[in-house]
Structure 1
Amino acid sequence: MKFIDLAEVDVIAGDGGDGLVAFRREKYVPAGGPSGGNGGPGGSVYLVAETNLQTLLDFRYAHQFKAGHGQRGGPNNCTGASGEDRYVAVPCGTMIYEAETEVPLGDLVTAGQTLCVAKGGNGGLGNRHFLSNRNRAPERALPGLPGEARRIRLELKLLAEVGIIGLPNAGKSTLISALSAARPKVADYPFTTLVPNLGVVRKPTGDGTVFADIPGLIEGAHQGQGLGHEFLRHIERTRLLLHVVDGTAPDPVADYGTIQQELMAYGRGLRDRPQILVLNKVDAMPEDAIADLVQNLAAIALVPVLPISAATHHNLEQLKRQVWTALDALTPPEVPSAPTLNMVSG
C-alpha cells in the first residue's frame, strides 16, 4: 500500500432550500392565510477519524466532497427536506488546515472524532413568517443560503509513542523488525526506508506500544534535503525518541550531533523530547572501541548510552526495559474522548 500523508481537497456543503409562497384555501377554513413552508437546511461535510486507515491514499483519487442541497419548502407549512450530510473517513492522527490561510481547523486523534469542515446553508423562510397585522397576505419568501465551500489540507501525523531516529543506514529498520512484527525493507545501502514504518512492541503486561521507524535524516533535513523534511512531522506526536547511532560509521559522535542539530532547527519541541541513545552494530566492532565510543557519546549527549546489536538482538531486552521505564515516567498525553464534534464556520 502506498503511503500518502499529505492531500488537498475541496469540501462543498449543500445550499439551503428556498422558502415557499403559498396560501391555504380550503373549504370550511375561512381564514386560511399564508402557508408557505421553510426551505430545508443544506447538508454539511464532516471528517471522521477511523482506525482502519493508515494513509491518505484515497484522497489522491477523490478531490471533491459535496453534501446534498436542502429542498424547497412545501405548502401547508411543510418544511423542505434537509440535505444529506457527507461523512468522509480519515486516518487517526490527521490534522486539518485551511489550504489558503494555513489556519488549523482541527486535529482528529481518536477513533470516532468528528469535525465539520463545511457547514450547510440555512433554509429560506416561507411567507408564513411574514404574516403581520399590516400584511395579512404576504407574498414574500426568502431564498436559501449557500453552503460553505473551502479547500482544506489534510496532514497525517503518525500516532506512535516511540520514534526511532538516526542517520540513513544506522539500523533503524533492522531494530524495529527485531523488536516487533514489522517487516520493513532492510538493505546495506542508505535510504532503504522511504516511508515511515510502524511496529507494535508488546510490554510484559501484554499492552502494546507503537514504535515508528522514521526515514533517515541527513544534514539540512529541516530545509527539505533528503527525506527528513517530509517525515519529521511524524515524530511530533511521539513521547520518546530512540536515537540510533551507527557504531561502524567513520565518526559516530559527529553523526549524533548532526541529528540533534536537525531536531533543534526543525523546532516544535523535538530537541527537548526525552531520548534514549543506543550505539548499534556493536557486533561488528572491537570491544575496546565500543567502550571508548560509549564513553565519548555519553560525554557529549549527557545521557547513558546503551550498546546494542539489532542484527544479533544483543541487549534488546535491556533496551525495552529502558523504554518502558522512560514511558512510565512521562505524563500520559491528553487525548480527547470520542466522539467529539467540532463545528467550524467560515
Structure 2
Amino acid sequence: MSQKNHKIRVGISIGDFNGIGPEIIMKSLKDKTITDFFTPIIFGSGKIFTYQKNIFKLNLNFNYINEASQAQEGKLNMVNLVKENMNVELGTPTEESTKLAISSLEAATEALIKNEIDVLITAPINKDEMMKMGFQHAGHTGYFEEKFNKKGLMFLVTEDLKVAVSTHHIPVAHIAENISKEKIKKQISILNQTLIEDFCIQKPKIAVLGLNPHAGDGGVIGNEEIDIISPAIKELSDNDILAFGPFPADSFFQPHKYKNFDAILAMYHDQGLAPFKTIAYEEGVNYTAGLPFIRTSPDHGVAYDIAGKNMADEQSFTEAMFTAIKIFKNRTEYNELMSNRLQPRKIAIDNGIDEDLPEETES
C-alpha cells in the first residue's frame, strides 16, 4: 500500500481508567465516520470500556483483538489486555487502574516499535501512583526517551502557539543546575528540525526565554542569561538557526510578541505551560519532539474530580489525535522529498570535464 493511500493506524493508551481517560477517548471516537479518516487501536479492557460507555450513554461497538496487527479498517479496535472483571472506582486511583495504565502504555509502545501502529496518543496518567508501582519515570517524556534511546523535547502546540520546555518534571530548586549551554543548543536544534520536518515551516524563528526575572536584568538578578543562554543562542545563530533572546518571560506572552515567532523555548515547566494552558485552553496538544516515532497527548491530567460525571471535554484529546495524524503525513512527505532530491552531478576532477554534458563535436 502506498503512503498516500495508507489509512493511518492510531494507537491509544488509556491512562488511569478511574480518571477521565476512557471518557475522552470514547467521546473523541463517537462519530460513526471517524474510521473513514484513520484506524483507531485502543490498548485497554473491553469490560471497562463497556461499563463506562453505558455510564456516558455512548453508542460504540469495539472489535476485540489480541494484538495490534489484527486491527481492521473501518472499526474501533480494542487490544483486550485484560479479559477479567476489574473494579472501577471513578475518581480514585487504585492498584488495578495503575497497573493497567502501565500495561496499556507498554503494550502500545511495543506496537509502535514493531510498526503495528503509526502514531501513539496517550491518555492522562497518574505519575505518582505509577512510580509507586515501579514505573521509573516522572512522566511520558522520560519513558519514551529511555525506550527509544534518544532525547526528546516536551512541546506544547496549537496552530498559533508552540511552546517547548528545557526542563520537565523536576523541583524548582534544581532548575538552574539542569540548564547548560550544550543542552540548550541541542534542544533548540531539535525544535528547529521538528518545525521543518513535522510542521512544514521552512525557516523557523525561535524565541528563547530567560531563566531569571527580567531575563537577569544584565546580571543583576542572575547570570544564567549571560553565561549560558546568550552564548548558546549566538553559536546557533552563527550556524544559521534563527534563535532570538533571551526574552523576559513575564511580558513575552502578549499576542503582538509571541506571534512573531514560530516556537518558544521556555526554561522550565511552569514558565512555558502556565501561559500556554491559559491561552490554548482545551485545544492544546502535548507532542514529544525529537523522537523517531510520533506521540501526542492532551494537555491536561486525569481530572479525578469530574471522573464519571459526564463533564470531561474531549477537545484536547481529539486535537491530539488529528495533530499526530497531520505530523505523520508531514514527516512522511518531508522524508519522501528528501529521499528524492536531485543528486549533484559527478565532475571528473582530474580533467575538469563535466561528465553529464555531451562532448563537443568538431565543426
- TM-score, normalised with respect to structure 1: 0.29
Higher helix share: 2
Larger radius of gyration: 1
